[in-house]
Amino acid sequence: MTTPATPAAAVDRPDLSVRLGPLRLEHPLINASGTMEILDLADTLGPGILGHPPVAAYVPKTVLLSPRAGNPPPRILETPAGMINSIGLPGEGLETFVNERLPRLLALPCALILSIGGFSLQEYASLAAGLHSALKHWEADWPARVGLEANISCPNVHSGCASIGSDPQETLAVVAAIREVWPGLLIAKLTPNVTDIGAIARAAVQGGADAIAAVNTFKGLVVDRETLRPWLGNITGGVSGPAIKPLALRLVYEVFQAVEVPIVGMGGVASVQDVLDFMACGARVVAVGSAAFRDPWIAQDLADGLAYELAARGLILDELVGLAHRGQVSGCT
């Protein structure tokens, strides 16, 4: 879309940089894991996206220990104000990821948050240890560039993952096992499909998590309109998109009250207002998922819009984070 040429210096851009543990991000917008294959995007949209990624930190698809084909099709369907997916974590496995994909991702001019998923505590520990040993030979200050996200919340695999993240004791044990072998930033990504997300968040922090990502998709089901049978090959899937935003906001709000570590908020983010809402509820970093499917550049536009909103409202970023918890605004008419 063409826009009028305005000198970039015409307006003072507020400082959008944020710290997430040892990582420093240029702005608070990143992608949700599994929603952006940046290397494949470069095939289609040109290599420019690798030199100027729209996200301040790139989060690749969750890596598993072994290669995995993923779930049987059909895997996606649009739903009212969003979509449902049951992809099932297809991937090349740790070894190929480290040898073939990781070097190209480390060349990106932004932070990198590697997502891992497993079926047991041992698998998470092996993945974290494997990535650590690959990175420590890369450069000495890698912890300033690369973090780890433990995906203990994928709804589309039938063991491990979300079943771990649904139980505080298992969450604590898995996060602690990763913590032993991973010295860098450690984020625990939580499922919304629990009764008390605060308890899970506290367990993750107790296990050594430096930050909480909230939330993964909501488990759902869609019916084939012709056959009236479940539409997805895997029967159930994860619902995402604007439809889940109020549900996700409530959970981010509760995580903020439960723990003091930074929160990566996500769930239906599609507009600048959504970014403001998530940050007000407690997110220091905001991830875009499904909305990037229709617009691969949306994270950059949201960061620009956030800068504008901060300037217009006379806020700095630190004031915005958690604003919704600071009591009712008095004197409103």
Contact residues for 239 (Cβ-Cβ < 8 A; gap 6+):
79, 82, 83, 84, 217, 218, 219, 220
Rounded distance between C-alpha atoms, residue 86 and residue 103, angstroms? 29
| DSSP E strand stretches across the chain | 18-20, 23-25, 29-31, 57-58, 76-79, 82-85, 111-116, 146-151, 186-190, 211-214, 218-221, 236-240, 263-265, 285-288
Rounded distance between C-alpha atoms, residue 12 and residue 140, angstroms? 35
The 210-249 contact track toward other proteins, x by CB under 8 A, reads: --------------xxx----x---------xx-------
Residues between 147 and 176 that touch other proteins (CB under 8 A): none
Distances (CA, A) of 322 to 30, 246, 301: 19, 16, 23
Candidates 93, 121, 144, 293; binder of other proteins (CB under 8 A) is 293
Candidates 85, 193, 216, 234; binder of other proteins (CB under 8 A) is 85
270: contact with other proteins by CB under 8 A:
yes
314: contact with other proteins by CB under 8 A:
no
286: contact with other proteins by CB under 8 A:
no
Residue type, 84: I
Distances (CA, A) of 142 to 23, 130, 179, 305: 10, 15, 16, 31
Task: Kindly report the number of other CB atoms within 10 A of residue 155's CB atom.
Answer: 23
How far apart are CB 333 and other proteins at their closest, in Å? 25
305: contact with other proteins by CB under 8 A:
yes
141: contact with other proteins by CB under 8 A:
no
How far apart are CB 157 and other proteins at their closest, in Å? 14
Beta bridge partners of 263: 212
Candidates 15, 37, 139, 318; binder of other proteins (CB under 8 A) is 37
Binding piece for other proteins, criterion CB under 8 A, among 83-91, 136-144, 171-179, 257-265: 83-91
Residues between 5 and 34 that touch other proteins (CB under 8 A): 5-8, 10-11, 13, 26, 34
Candidates 126, 236, 271, 323; binder of other proteins (CB under 8 A) is 271
Q: Is 154 a catalytic residue?
A: yes
309: contact with other proteins by CB under 8 A:
yes
Task: Kindly report the number of other CB atoms within 10 A of residue 134's CB atom.
Answer: 20
193: contact with other proteins by CB under 8 A:
no
The 43-82 contact track toward other proteins, x by CB under 8 A, reads: xxxx-xx-xx-x------x-------xx-xxxxxxxx-xx
The answer to whether 231 and 74 are in contact (CB under 8 A) is yes
Considering beta carbons, is residue 4 or 331 the nearer one to other proteins? Answer: 4
295: contact with other proteins by CB under 8 A:
yes
What DSSP designation does 221 have? E
Quick one: angle between helices 121-136 and 168-181, nearest 10? 20
State the catalytic residues: 154
